[in-house]
């Protein structure tokens, strides 16, 4: 398995992850996505207090030759953003599931959106993506 | 057949190549074009000419024109007859520069990339801004895309533009804005300058960008004092279109609080060329760099630590951001920017200042002489840099026709752009105009009517 | 071969002068009177101070650090890097052209107007369109002009629901960017397995919100869109218009015309097809041609003739207005006009013939070692995929660097997006067979090196004045100007 996925997170088909903790969740980019993007040079973070909608773009991640939207896995209000990424965007490459977290949301819609996968389902999805 | 000397393939080459391809004739290679759209017959173009014949034809066409070398020109309105040092065309004429393309492969494009980096630096030095791009098409599109940058940065849709900004620039802004549904409002004139009170009233939290020009279209130096504060109070963006030569002397837009500076760089060693190719200058404060359109060169190192230059922040651009790009600009005016860099290097701070001073003095001298003529008046009293508006005692076109007889290209008739200003012309006085030439103009003006 | 080069600012020495100006010969006024202190800049601009000879040496050396078409083979796909004839350079700088001010009285610029008028006639004949504007200053500028014309057409007919433009997935980046700039929404149309626009998908995507379909033909894969008439019919029946991106015009001159394929609006790139030099990124020119029903919307002014006088015609009440302060890049149009004068109908057709012949020949040589995803007759360019090489450790970008070491400019890399590890090769008609052969040999050699030592290729180039540059650093910590320490 070339790309990592870890326990305790939910995953989207667009390679974002969410770690839910009661009414809040931490959101970030998956290992697969950071690898495909290449070395990340800039992150456009959402504003604290902004509303994000599941499936819509919440942040923009740039490498030298590519731009990718980070689509919110869950709907809610942004409570915190990872300011480390402003000076060290490469943290996402180095530790996508840990120090490279992007933002935190206060979840407004407790009904989980469709398409959120657990680790096993995501790993299966990843294998199919790689074969293509 | 015309242009044979540009086609190196011989018939033997063609035969050998076709046999490698496995085609009987070149016709086979065009079989994928359906019969229904195949062009039959010959294209209706004039017969091809040899090089000497072509040169003769073009010389004949050029010979039908009057121009700044066989006439004395007082034309301005954004395009000026400034001195062009001989060095420039020897630099831009080096074919390693002019036959190269966009420096996407930086290791073999260090010439162009370093030249762009130096150009960007010099534009920042001139304007007081933090960053500059590699060029836009001209002053008009630079102002327009700058105004749009302000909309992007503030997420608002209304732009205020002074009527003292060139009508040519305003026409382009109007067109682009109408297309994509952005709003344009014009700030009225007062005595030939922006009406500051009206501007204050028009400002609100729905305004994205305020666009002013310095010196303005009438050649006047406007009072920019306190405007930045007013504009920034509303969190709007302050954009100034500045004359690059004037920046040899005048306060930089940075000094009076501008956020974005654009301009027409034709006055920096570029021939008028009937209005193109010219040079759109764009520079801004650091915080706007990611909204800035166009190419930008940046410094970096290679794996051995050698300094080098690359196009950078490319994710702003169309080839990466595609439909989310701030602008679609791809090819710009690179070679013209190179000419401008050479000009600025040749002039240096001292030379640029001397050019600007001569413009100021000669304009003041001409203004005094013309104001002394009883039938002519200065349309707007104020401080002029290298140009001013004159109200003349009759039809400007007739006056210009009379001046032609003395090999003079007279001023620009601006009445069609400002209906309230009938019989009004702009006369420009660059460092190239001699006292003799100015005196002759004044004599001719006096003798008319 | 590594060699660094100082910046002008590093060479600058206070007191050096590079300029020569006459003294001011008018009686001078005190300058507090002319320009009070508060209006003056507080410090002189920190421009460099150099003598003329240093400046010349500086730029001469910079030029040796640059590769142009005059240096060697430059097969950048989609750019048409053909030879730039020198006679074009002579005509553009004639004082009777270079010294023209755009606001001169029309009777003083009859030669300039005649040139523009003649140019329009030739472009009409070449493309089968009804009228042209020469105002757009680049291809992308032409695209925006064309879309604005189409937009004006629909709006004038009261048809305000058309807010979408269709473009193929293989389109050049300027296409979707232009669509957004004009306030439209982009709808992507996929390609089929032959690399052409998927006709069925197109038919499904077209509806009464479609303003236009933007196409280039041949496509960015160098393949002719054989179903073009059917595509034109589909769009027109739905009330939309068909736009031609003329970037690939070099493939079809004399063989077919966009006007005959059903296109309503066309832009041409005169710095591609008509041999004007690329200038390191410009200036270019993007003339736009339209069919009769769109003529009222063209930007003003047009160039017309009455009796024997040429004039600027501003009498187009429905014109979109202006795209440029003046008339576009006249000096570049002079070069293109010169080229058309020299080539004539036969020469232009020969250009396309040889361009297509060279491309097919080179394609057949290269496909022996490289993967060619669309293995059939191409037009003026073709696309290889370096996916197999990437798996061995060196992809399209690395192959490009290896070509730099061997004295060639590489093809376009990573475009079009629909081909992985794309190498888009466009030789043009102005290359000899020997050049193509030696390029093919170099590519074969690189392939061999990748088999043995991909790492080496992945870290080149080695023979250039600088090595592979750190673009990540340049983007993460941008340094966009020199500053005094």
Contact B64 C110 (CB under 8 A): yes
Rounded Cα distance between C300 and A63, Å, is 42
Instruction: Dump pLDDT digits (tens) for B227-272.
Output: 999 999 999 999 999 999 999 999 999 999 999 999 999 999 999 9
Contact C472 A62 (CB under 8 A): no
Angle at B268 between CA B265 and CA B273, to 5 degrees: 75
Residue of C176, C415, C468, C472 to mutate when probing chain A, most A C-beta within 10 A: C472
Contact B275 C351 (CB under 8 A): no
- State the pairing for strand pair B387-391/B377-378: antiparallel
Q: Which domains occur in chain C, in start order?
A: 8-64 (no CATH), 87-343 (3.40.640.10), 346-471 (3.90.1150.10)
Residue with tokens 């409570």: A79
What is the per-residue pLDDT for A1? 63
CA distance B448 to chain C (A): 18
CA distance B205 to chain C (A): 23
Residue with tokens 């020198």: C86
Q: Is C222 on the interface with B (CB under 8 A)?
A: no
Rounded Cα distance between B113 and B117, Å, is 6
What are the E-state strand segments in C337-460?
382-385, 412-413, 422-425
What is the per-residue pLDDT for C485? 81
CATH class of A32-108: mainly beta
Among C23, C257, A50, CA closest to B362: C23
Residue with tokens 């370093």: B114
**Phi, psi of C483, rounded to the nearest 5 degrees:** -135, 145
Nearest to B438 among C26, C102, C112 (CB): C26
Q: Is B26 on the interface with A (CB under 8 A)?
A: no
Counting residues of chain C whose pLDDT is more than 90, the rounded percentage is 97
DSSP letter string, C95-118? HHHHT--TTS-GGGBHHHHHHHHH
Q: How confident is the model at residue B323 (pLDDT cuts 50, 70, 90)?
A: confident
Residue B29 has pLDDT above 90, yes or no: yes
What is the per-residue pLDDT for A114? 66
Nearest to B98 among C34, C279, C475 (CB): C279
Residue C226 has pLDDT above 70, yes or no: yes
Q: Where are the domains of chain A?
A: 32-108
C256-265: average pLDDT: 98
Rounded Cα distance between C175 and C182, Å, is 11
Burial class (CB in 10 A: 0-12, 13-18, 19+), C4: exposed
Instruction: Dump pLDDT digits (tens) for C61-71.
Output: 999 999 999 99
User: Could you tell me how many helices (H) and strands (E) chain A has, helices first?
Assistant: 4, 9
Mean pLDDT taken over chain B: 96
List all residues 6 or more positions away from C230 whose beta carbon is below 8 Å from its beta carbon: C199
List all residues 6 or more positions away from C376 whose beta carbon is below 8 Å from its beta carbon: C223
CB B365 within 8 A of CB C27: yes
CA distance A29 to chain B (A): 19
Q: How many residues does chain C have?
A: 485
CB C143 within 8 A of CB C171: no
CA distance B186 to chain C (A): 17
CA C30 to chain CA centroid, nearest Å: 50
Q: Is B300 on the interface with A (CB under 8 A)?
A: no
Residue B330 has pLDDT above 90, yes or no: no
Instruction: Dump pLDDT digits (tens) for C8-41.
Output: 999 999 999 999 999 999 999 998 899 999 999 9
Contact A89 C471 (CB under 8 A): no
CA distances from A121 to A14, A30, C125 (A): 14, 14, 61
Q: How confident is the model at residue C305 (pLDDT cuts 50, 70, 90)?
A: very high
Residue with tokens 């019919």: C233
Rounded Cα distance between C97 and B275, Å, is 10
DSSP letter string, C31-77? HHHHS-GGGB-SS--------HHHHHHHHHHHHHTB--TTTS---BT
Task: Kindly list the residues from chain B whose CB atom is less than 8 angstroms away from the CB atom of residue A64.
Answer: 314-315
Say which DSSP state C469 is in. Answer: B
Contact B320 A42 (CB under 8 A): no
CA distance A86 to chain C (A): 10
Kindly list the partner chains of chain C, i.e. chains with 3 or more CB atom pairs below 8 Å. Answer: A, B
Q: Which domains occur in chain B, in start order?
A: 72-83+348-447 (3.90.1150.10), 87-342 (3.40.640.10)
CB B289 within 8 A of CB C449: no
What is the token pair recorded at A71?
């689509």
Instruction: Dump pLDDT digits (tens) for B55-85.
Output: 999 999 999 999 999 999 999 999 999 999 9
Rounded Cα distance between C436 and B141, Å, is 40
Q: Is B319 on the interface with A (CB under 8 A)?
A: no
Rounded Cα distance between C78 and C248, Å, is 7
Task: Give the gyration radius of chain C's Cα atoms.
Answer: 25
Instruction: Dump pLDDT digits (tens) for C134-182.
Output: 999 999 999 999 999 999 999 999 999 999 999 999 898 889 999 999 9
Mean pLDDT taken over chain C: 96
Contact A67 B320 (CB under 8 A): yes
Instruction: Dump pLDDT digits (tens) for C113-128.
Output: 999 999 999 999 999 9
Nearest chain A residue to C478 by CA distance is A41
Residue with tokens 């959120």: A116
Angle at B437 between CA B433 and CA B439, to 5 degrees: 120
DSSP letter string, C111-175? HHHHHHHHHHHHHHHHHT-SEEE---SSHHHHHHHHHHHHHHHHHHTT-----EEEEETT--THH
CA distances from B385 to B212, B379, B382 (A): 16, 15, 10
Contact C476 A65 (CB under 8 A): no
What is the per-residue pLDDT for C277? 97
Say which DSSP state B91 is in. Answer: H
Residue A130 has pLDDT above 80, yes or no: no
CA distance A84 to chain C (A): 14
CA distances from B117 to A61, B12, B296, B341 (A): 26, 47, 8, 10
Rounded Cα distance between B24 and A127, Å, is 48
Residue B188 has pLDDT above 90, yes or no: yes
Neighbours of C194 (CB within 10 A): 12
List all residues 6 or more positions away from C208 whose beta carbon is below 8 Å from its beta carbon: C161, C162, C238, C239
Neighbours of A71 (CB within 10 A): 19
Contact C20 B85 (CB under 8 A): yes
Kindly list the partner chains of chain A, i.e. chains with 3 or more CB atom pairs below 8 Å. Answer: B, C
CB B130 within 8 A of CB B284: yes
Q: In a 3-state reduction of DSSP, which class is residue B322?
A: helix
Task: Give the gyration radius of chain A's Cα atoms.
Answer: 14
Residue of C282, C346, C353, C375 to mutate when probing chain B, most B C-beta within 10 A: C282
C residues 357-396 lying closer than 8 A (beta carbon) to B: 357-358, 360-361, 364-365, 377, 379
Instruction: Dump pLDDT digits (tens) for C373-409.
Output: 999 999 999 999 999 999 999 999 999 999 999 999 9
CA distance B153 to chain A (A): 13
Instruction: Dump pLDDT digits (tens) for C450-464.
Output: 999 999 999 999 999
Burial class (CB in 10 A: 0-12, 13-18, 19+), A113: middle
What is the per-residue pLDDT for C265? 98
Q: Is B320 on the interface with A (CB under 8 A)?
A: yes
Q: Is B324 on the interface with A (CB under 8 A)?
A: yes
What is the token pair recorded at B153?
């940065």
Nearest chain C residue to B399 by CA distance is C105
Kindly list the partner chains of chain B, i.e. chains with 3 or more CB atom pairs below 8 Å. Answer: A, C
Neighbours of B205 (CB within 10 A): 10
What is the per-residue pLDDT for A109? 75
Among C120, C133, C154, CA closest to C314: C133
Contact C48 B348 (CB under 8 A): yes
Q: Where are the alpha helices (DSSP H) in B274-388?
A: 318-321, 334-371
Q: Is A64 on the interface with B (CB under 8 A)?
A: yes
Q: Is B282 on the interface with C (CB under 8 A)?
A: no
Rounded Cα distance between C265 and C289, Å, is 6
Counting residues of chain C whose pLDDT is more than 70, the rounded percentage is 100
Residue A112 has pLDDT above 80, yes or no: no
Q: How confident is the model at residue B418 (pLDDT cuts 50, 70, 90)?
A: very high
Residue with tokens 């589909």: C234
Task: Kindly list the residues from chain C whose CB atom is less than 8 angstroms away from the CB atom of residue B38.
Answer: 255-256
Contact C47 B345 (CB under 8 A): yes
- State the pairing for strand pair C302-306/A10-11: unpaired
What is the per-residue pLDDT for B329? 87
Among B292, B174, B298, B197, CA closest to B237: B292
A2-25: average pLDDT: 90
């Amino acid at each position: 398995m070339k790309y990592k996925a870890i326990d305790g997170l939910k995953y989207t088909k667009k390679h974002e992850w969410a770690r839910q903790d009661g009414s809040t969740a931490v959101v970030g980019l998956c290992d697969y996505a950071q690898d495909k993007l290449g070395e990340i040079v800039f992150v456009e973070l959402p504003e604290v207090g902004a509303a994000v909608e599941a499936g819509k773009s919440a942040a923009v991640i740039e490498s030298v030759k590519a731009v990718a939207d980070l689509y919110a896995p869950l709907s809610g209000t942004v409570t915190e953003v990872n300011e480390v990424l402003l000076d060290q965007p490469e943290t996402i490459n180095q530790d996508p599931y840990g120090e490279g977290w992007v933002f935190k949301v206060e979840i407004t819609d407790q009904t989980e959106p469709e398409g959120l996968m657990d680790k096993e389902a995501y790993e299966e999805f990843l294998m199919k993506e790689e074969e293509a | 057949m015309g242009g044979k000397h540009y086609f190196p393939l011989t018939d033997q080459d063609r035969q050998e190549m076709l046999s490698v391809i496995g085609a009987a004739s070149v016709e086979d290679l065009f079989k994928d074009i359906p019969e229904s759209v195949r062009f039959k017959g010959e294209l209706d173009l004039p017969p091809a000419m040899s090089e000497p014949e072509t040169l003769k034809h073009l010389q004949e066409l050029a010979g039908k024109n009057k121009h700044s070398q066989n006439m004395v020109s007082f034309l301005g309105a954004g395009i000026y007859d400034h001195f062009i040092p001989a060095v420039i065309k020897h630099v831009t004429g080096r074919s390693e520069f002019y036959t190269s393309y966009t420096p996407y492969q930086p290791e073999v494009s260090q010439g162009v990339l370093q030249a762009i980096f130096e150009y960007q630096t010099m534009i920042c030095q001139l304007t007081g801004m933090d960053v500059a791009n590699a060029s836009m098409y001209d002053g008009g599109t630079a102002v327009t895309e700058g105004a749009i940058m302000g909309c992007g940065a503030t997420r608002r849709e209304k732009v205020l533009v002074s009527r003292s900004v060139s009508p040519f620039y305003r026409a382009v802004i109007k067109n682009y804005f109408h297309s994509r549904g952005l709003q344009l409002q014009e700030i009225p004139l007062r005595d030939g300058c922006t009406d500051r009170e009206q501007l204050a009233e028009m400002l609100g939290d729905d305004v994205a960008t305020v666009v002013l020009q310095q010196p303005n279209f009438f050649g006047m130096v406007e009072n920019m004092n306190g405007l930045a504060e007013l504009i920034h109070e509303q969190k709007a963006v302050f954009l100034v279109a500045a004359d690059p030569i004037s920046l040899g002397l005048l306060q930089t837009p940075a000094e009076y609080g501008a956020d974005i500076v654009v301009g027409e760089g034709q006055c920096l060693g570029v021939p008028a060329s009937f209005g193109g190719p010219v040079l759109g200058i764009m520079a801004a404060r650091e915080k706007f760099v990611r909204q800035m359109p166009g190419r930008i060169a940046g410094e970096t190192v290679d794996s051995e630590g050698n300094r080098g230059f690359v196009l950078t922040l490319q994710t702003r651009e169309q080839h990466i951001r595609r439909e989310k790009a701030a602008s679609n600009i791809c090819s710009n005016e690179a070679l013209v920017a190179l000419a401008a860099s050479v000009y600025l290097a040749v002039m240096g701070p001292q030379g640029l200042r001397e050019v600007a001073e001569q413009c100021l003095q000669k304009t003041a001298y001409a203004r005094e002489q013309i104001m002394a003529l009883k039938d002519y008046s200065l349309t707007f009293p104020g401080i002029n840099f290298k140009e001013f508006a004159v109200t003349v005692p009759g039809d400007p076109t007739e006056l210009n026709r009379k001046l032609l007889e003395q090999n003079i290209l007279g001023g620009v008739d601006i009445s069609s752009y400002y209906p309230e200003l009938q019989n009004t012309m702009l006369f420009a006085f660059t460092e190239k105009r001699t006292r003799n030439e100015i005196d002759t103009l004044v004599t001719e003006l006096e003798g008319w009517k | 071969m590594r060699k660094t080069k100082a910046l002008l600012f590093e060479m600058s020495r206070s007191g050096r002068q590079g300029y020569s100006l006459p003294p001011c010969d008018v009686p001078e006024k005190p300058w507090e009177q002319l320009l009070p202190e508060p209006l003056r800049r507080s410090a002189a601009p920190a421009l460099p101070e150099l003598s003329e000879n240093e400046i010349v040496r500086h730029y001469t050396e910079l030029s040796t650090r640059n590769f142009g078409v005059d240096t060697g083979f430059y097969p950048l796909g989609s750019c048409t890097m053909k030879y730039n004839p020198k006679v074009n350079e002579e005509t553009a700088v004639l004082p009777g052209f270079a010294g023209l001010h755009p606001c001169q009285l029309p009777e003083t610029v009859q030669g300039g107007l005649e040139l523009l008028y003649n140019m329009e006639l030739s472009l009409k004949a070449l493309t089968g369109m009804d009228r042209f504007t020469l105002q757009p200053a680049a291809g992308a500028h032409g695209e925006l002009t064309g879309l604005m014309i189409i937009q004006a057409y629909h709006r004038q007919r009261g048809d305000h629901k058309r807010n979408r433009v269709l473009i193929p997935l293989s389109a050049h980046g300027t296409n979707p960017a232009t669509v957004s700039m004009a306030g439209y929404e982009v709808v992507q149309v996929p390609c089929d397995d032959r690399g052409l626009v998927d006709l069925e998908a197109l038919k499904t995507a077209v509806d009464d919100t479609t303003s236009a379909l933007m196409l280039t033909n041949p496509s960015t894969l160098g393949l002719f869109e054989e179903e073009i008439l059917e595509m034109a019919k589909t769009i027109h029946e739905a009330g939309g218009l068909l736009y031609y991106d003329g970037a690939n015009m070099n493939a079809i001159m004399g063989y077919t015309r966009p006007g005959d394929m059903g296109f309503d609006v066309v832009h041409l790139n005169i710095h591609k097809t008509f041999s004007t030099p690329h200038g390191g990124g410009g200036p270019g020119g993007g003339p736009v041609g339209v069919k009769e029903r769109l003529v009222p919307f063209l930007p003003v002014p047009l160039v017309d003739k009455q009796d024997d006088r040429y004039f600027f015609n501003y009498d187009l009440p429905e014109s979109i207005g202006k795209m440029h302060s003046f008339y576009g890049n006249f000096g570049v149009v002079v070069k293109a006009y010169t080229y058309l004068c020299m080539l004539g109908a036969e020469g232009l057709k020969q250009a396309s013939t040889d361009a297509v012949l060279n491309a097919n020949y080179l394609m057949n040589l290269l496909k022996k070692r490289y993967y060619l995803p669309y293995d059939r007759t191409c037009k003026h360019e073709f696309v290889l995929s370096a996916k197999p090489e990437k798996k061995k450790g060196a992809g399209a970008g690395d192959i490009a660097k290896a070509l730099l070491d061997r004295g060639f400019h590489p093809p376009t890399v990573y475009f079009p997006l629909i081909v992985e590890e794309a190498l888009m090769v466009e030789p043009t008609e102005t290359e000899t067979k020997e050049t193509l052969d030696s390029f093919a040999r170099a590519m074969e050699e690189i392939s061999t090196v990748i088999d043995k030592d991909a790492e080496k290729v992945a870290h080149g180039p080695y023979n250039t004045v600088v090595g592979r540059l750190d673009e990540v650093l340049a983007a993460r910590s941008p340094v966009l100007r020199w500053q005094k320490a």
